[in-house]
Amino acid sequence: MQSKPAARFVSQLLAGLVLQQWVLPVVITAAGLLIGLNSDVPPFYVFVGTVIVLAQSAVALLRYSEWRSRITAKDKLGFQGGRVVSVLDEQGQIAGFHLGFTLNNFASFPVEFEVERIESRVMDRVSTKDKNLHPVLVSSGLTGWWQDGVIELPDLPAARSIEGRLEAEIVYGRAGKRRHVLSLDKKVLLTIDPDRRLIGSEWFSGR
């Protein structure tokens, strides 16, 4: 059932791109050609003018497309990597983890994001503490991060690798105008040494 809306969106997007990059320059050029042919301008100058109109209209539409890409926040916030923070007990051994993520802002302006939903687990344990969700503003070219509540692991096995998972739904955009969505579904492999200390973490796609 979900494939039809997706297919409709793709077809509309492709149609828009074709209209913008191919049809409009041809239409503009054809209009100029008709005007030239119905005037007293010599055919040679009509031909030269038609070529110039075609080139300039194509360049103008390209510059317009580039400008729209620069001013929109869509696809300007991207996943950089996972985040693992160990929670230690009095003996310096791991008693739990925080799982989170780091995001890159590729825009030339600040981008604000807010986590609408986040779920994290390690083995069969999940984070149960208050999420305390709030917006985060990321400056241009910099990174922002977020981490979920603690996942308590009082009986963490030593000298082995264990698996965790992080899922999140993030809305982002210009400050106060969060209209775009970024979905994360990641797995992490945590390696624990015999002294119950974290010695490595490796992230993978959860899908």
Predicted pLDDT of residue 128 = 76
Per-residue pLDDT of 153-190, as tens digits, reads: 988 888 889 999 999 999 999 988 999 999 999 999 99
Per-residue pLDDT of 10-50, as tens digits, reads: 444 434 444 455 555 555 556 555 655 556 556 655 555 56
For residue 163, which amino acid is it?
E
CA distance 165 to 172: 22
Contacts of 81 (CB under 8 A, 6+ apart): 101, 102, 203
pLDDT confidence band for 205 (50 / 70 / 90) = very high
Measured in degrees and rounded to the nearest 5, phi and psi for residue 134 equal -160, 160
The tokens describing 198, both together, are 């974290």
The radius of gyration of the chain's CA atoms, rounded to the nearest angstrom, is 27
Domains of the chain in start order, with CATH, are: 3-71 (no CATH), 77-205 (2.60.40)
Q: Which of the listed ranges 63-67, 87-91, 110-114 does the model predict with the highest average pLDDT?
A: 110-114
The tokens describing 25, both together, are 């320059």
Q: Which of the listed ranges 36-45, 97-106, 126-135 does the model predict with the highest average pLDDT?
A: 97-106
Average pLDDT, the chain: 79
Which pTM does this prediction carry? 0.68
Predicted pLDDT of residue 10 = 41
**Alpha carbon distances (Å) from 20 to 25, 26, 31, 59, 73:** 8, 10, 16, 11, 21
For residue 142, which amino acid is it?
L
